[in-house]
Amino acid sequence: MSDPFPYVEQSLTASLGISREELRRLREQLVDGKDWILKKRRVRLSQSGFDKLRALLSLPAVTAGPDAQTTTATPEEPAEKKAAPGAVAEDGVVVLYVWQTVTNPKIVEGYLPGTDPTVRANILRVRVRDSRNFVRMSREKPMEMKCRHLQTDLYELATACPRKKGVY
């Protein structure tokens, strides 16, 4: 039995080349329940919704379906064991590097791999249970955090907090 809503909105932003906010605005022109649904806190699109988005963006139509190799976006695929830094896994987990802890013990500042953390616009906030064991460098490389996106620059830790300084 195939999934009637195979496309995940979060994964479409990169493949369609538009921002998440622009995709949300375009979704307002789609029909809720027919073209898209909210399932497990994730927006999922049907094939007709995906085709309508492509038409709104003036991209060529895809006739081969969601399984075809010719599409720029594919339906959600099983997650790999370990997500590559900066890549979004199936459950919305992304790897960020620790930049610094702040006064609030429940917040750690981080950045995406490949971005310059000295530019304040690249700094992201990560909500954690306790920030005392997060360090910038661990074993001569940046400490990684697996996080889930919540809002514009706010993430939450998707794993347990480190038990020792710099070590999960």
Range of the structural domain that residue 109 is part of? 93-157
Residue 125 has pLDDT above 90, yes or no: yes
Is 110 inside a domain boundary? yes
Residue 73 has pLDDT above 80, yes or no: no
Give how many domains the chain has, as a whole number: 2
Is 88 inside a domain boundary? no
Same domain membership, residue 7 and residue 60: yes
Between 166 and 58, the more confident residue is 166
Is 124 inside a domain boundary? yes
The secondary structure of 74-137 as a DSSP string is ----PPPSSPPTT---TTSEEEEEEEEE-SSTTEEEEE-TTS-TTSGGG-EEEE-S--TT--SE
Is 19 inside a domain boundary? yes
- Of 111, 94, 93, 105, give the one whose Cα is nearest residue 133: 105
Same domain membership, residue 106 and residue 66: no
Same domain membership, residue 131 and residue 106: yes
Same domain membership, residue 8 and residue 71: yes
Region 59-68: mean pLDDT is: 52
* Last-in-domain residue among 76, 110, 135: 76
| pLDDT for the residue 153 | 85
Residue 65 has pLDDT above 60, yes or no: no
Region 36-53: mean pLDDT is: 87
Same domain membership, residue 65 and residue 114: no
* Last-in-domain residue among 76, 103, 135: 76
Is 51 inside a domain boundary? yes
Is 27 inside a domain boundary? yes
How many residues would you count in the chain? 168
Is 12 inside a domain boundary? yes
| pLDDT for the residue 40 | 83
- Of 130, 124, 115, give the one whose Cα is nearest residue 152: 124
pLDDT in tens, 77-124: 444 444 445 556 556 789 999 999 888 999 999 999 988 888 888 899
Residue 157 has pLDDT above 60, yes or no: yes
Distance CA 131, CA 100 (A): 10
